[in-house]
Amino acid sequence: MKITNKKLLPVARKLRKNMTPQEKQLWYQFLSKHQLRWYRQRIIGNFIADFYCPQIKLVIELDGSQHYSDEGLSYDENRTKIINEHGIEVIRISNTEIDSNFINVCSYINEEIKKRIKA
């Protein structure tokens, strides 16, 4: 199964250079320092995941308000289903949670990581 669509590489690079404040916070204060290797704006199939750890096959998606419309929810559900078909789990975290509850978000991510390491 093809995991990378190289046509998306310029888009992924642009997204890496223009991360949202929440993506920057999660990356610079947590994931970039994590013992597991994480990638920003990683291409998986025909999608670009916000953060991806290949060792445990986990994607972290940060969701802004556009993700909570009917159209956004439907798109995300389909996207998650397709990424799951690659054997990769997706967890979604709202930007609001990053802004208001960062320490608990990091704890939640660590718990999800532990589950996958044990499995």
Q: State pLDDT tens for residues 6-65.
A: 888 889 999 999 999 999 999 999 999 999 999 999 998 889 999 999 999 999 999 875
Which has the higher per-residue pLDDT, 109 or 74?
A: 109
Q: Residue 93: is its pLDDT beyond 90?
A: yes
What fold, for 6-118?
A: Endonuclease; Chain A (3.40.960)
| pLDDT category of residue 3 using cuts at 50, 70 and 90 | low
Beta strands at 58-63 and 89-94: parallel, antiparallel or unpaired = parallel
pTM of the predicted protein model: 0.87
Cα Rg, the chain, nearest whole Å: 14
